């Protein structure tokens, strides 16, 4: 059975306007299929984070087409784009963005409250995600009782509780030591295998990128090469 394209970019360009316009992306063509793990690599200022925000529909390209699950989001109004983002995309950021006064399980339930999921169902979903990622032991801990690596793993669990088809991560291990980074990346791989989630992450670290099946090398706003 052929893989379904999750993301298709066709001649995507991004120019930041100012006194001196900055060309961040110079005509990107890329396809990412369902169930893949992809690392976007490149030096600082190469355009990799801009590329991720465009894939995540948080930013619009200046030119070109962005297609998510067959839907061309560049032709949509903001309200329609927000609906696509809610339906398909989860995010994990460099900062964990956990609420300090809440336990891990309450943090995981938070986005489900916003979606109007009933309390009993929220708890069931949160416990299921924790169990599948092997994080049950952290359920009742608050962020100040967890290491940075544990907090990032809970942030991943929170994103997965929303059942995204596509999980985007921007430098998710940047604030972590080597051991914690390894555990966090193993959590991403487990999420890919357990949930079938397509994962795209931005990193400048080759050892982190090595966890992905494909590596997209970006330099000066263009794709230099693709490995895998």
Residue-wise pLDDT for 169-182, tens only, equals 999 999 899 999 99
What's the rounded Cα separation, in Å, for the pair 89 and 68?
10
User: What is the mean pLDDT of the segment spanning 85-108?
Assistant: 92
Question: In the prediction, which pLDDT does 2 show?
Answer: 55
Report the interhelical angle of 178-195 vs 119-132 (nearest 10°): 120
**pTM for this predicted structure:** 0.92
Alpha-carbon Rg for the chain in angstroms: 18
- Tokens 């590596």 locate to 215
Domains of the chain: 5-227 (3.40.50.300)
What's the rounded Cα separation, in Å, for the pair 94 and 147?
14
What's the rounded Cα separation, in Å, for the pair 220 and 47?
7
Residue-wise pLDDT for 23-66, tens only, equals 999 999 999 999 999 999 999 889 999 999 999 999 999 999 99
User: What is the mean pLDDT of the segment spanning 3-7?
Assistant: 87
């Amino acid at each position: 059975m052929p893989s379904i394209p999750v993301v298709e970019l066709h001649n995507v360009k991004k120019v930041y306007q100012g006194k001196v316009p900055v060309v961040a992306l110079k005509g990107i063509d890329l396809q990412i299929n369902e169930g893949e793990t992809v690392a976007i690599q490149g030096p600082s200022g190469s355009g990799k984070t801009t590329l991720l925000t465009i894939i995540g529909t948080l930013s619009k390209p200046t030119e070109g087409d962005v297609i998510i699950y067959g839907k061309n989001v560049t032709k949509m109004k903001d309200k329609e784009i927000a609906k696509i983002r809610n339906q398909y995309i989860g995010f994990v950021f460099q900062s964990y963005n956990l609420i300090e006064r809440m336990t891990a399980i309450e943090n995981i339930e938070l986005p489900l409250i916003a979606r109007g999921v009933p309390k009993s169902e929220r708890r069931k979903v949160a416990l299921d995600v924790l169990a599948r990622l092997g994080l049950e032991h952290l359920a009742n801990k608050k962020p100040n009782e967890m290491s940075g690596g544990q907090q990032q793993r809970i942030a991943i669990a929170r994103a997965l509780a929303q059942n995204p088809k596509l999980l985007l991560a921007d430098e998710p291990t940047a604030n972590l030591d080597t051991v914690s980074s390894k555990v966090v990346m193993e959590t991403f791989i487990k999420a890919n295998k357990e949930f079938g989630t397509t994962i795209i992450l931005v990193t400048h670290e080759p050892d982190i990128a090595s966890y992905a099946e494909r590596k997209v090398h970006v330099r000066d706003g263009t794709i230099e090469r693709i490995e895998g």
